[in-house]
Amino acid sequence: MKKFILCMLLAAVSQAYGAEHRVKMLDWSPDGQTMIFEPGFLKVAPGDTVIFEPTQKGHNVMSKVVPEGATSFRSELDETFRLVLDKEGVYLYVCPPHQMMGMVGIIQVGEAKNLQKIKEAIPKLERVVKSNKGRWEAYAKNISGYGQ
């Protein structure tokens, strides 16, 4: 009986915590791209945690668009940043010092409930980018329902 209770308790605890995903903040990716989050697009489940790792100095992460009811976020420079994503929808984020260089990323949490807001925001955000143009659109193609 004790083993059964212990197993049930462990199952409940493991369901309370989501999966962890890591995003590296890079000057250069292994395939030669500059100023990039790796990966640039993530699809995760509600309750999952994304860990942003500044593998090279001079980077941080800041939200540009979040789903309704979600809290905006911003890390300190060169800080490993943990973000628990509880609200379904699409999150757009940038590295503030390198936004103009196309250091941008997208996370879809569950359903893309704020899809219209994202479709309106991406062209405006793309206009700020001076190098590595097209990343917003390339990543957005992975969002469920974006191309429809």
Torsions phi, psi of 74, nearest 5?
A: -155, 130
Known binding-site residue numbers: 59, 95, 98, 103
Predicted structure pTM score: 0.88
pLDDT over 70 at 8, yes or no: no
What confidence category does residue 3 fall into, taking pLDDT thresholds of 50, 70 and 90?
low
Measure the CA angle with vertex 57, ends 56 and 60; round to 5°.
Answer: 100
Reported as a single tens digit per residue, the pLDDT across 88-132 is 999 999 999 999 999 999 999 999 999 999 999 999 999 999 999
Reported as a single tens digit per residue, the pLDDT across 12-36 is 444 457 999 999 999 999 999 999 9
Average pLDDT over residues 44-54: 98
What confidence category does residue 148 fall into, taking pLDDT thresholds of 50, 70 and 90?
confident
pLDDT at residue 10, rounded to an integer:
44
CATH level 3 topology of 19-140: Immunoglobulin-like (2.60.40)
All structural domains of the chain with their residue ranges: 19-140
Number of Cβ atoms within 10 Å of the Cβ of 70: 17
Known binding-site residue numbers for Cu cation: 59, 95, 98, 103
pLDDT at residue 72, rounded to an integer:
98
Whether the CB-CB separation of 59 and 25 falls below 8 Å is answered with yes
Using CA atoms, how far residue 113 sits from 30, 34, 143, in Å, is 33, 31, 11
Pairing assessment for the beta strands 104-109 and 89-94 based on DSSP bridges: antiparallel
Euclidean distance between CA atoms 148 and 131, whole angstroms: 27
Taking alpha carbons only, the member of 65, 75, 49, 61 closest to residue 25 is 61
Pairing assessment for the beta strands 48-54 and 81-85 based on DSSP bridges: antiparallel
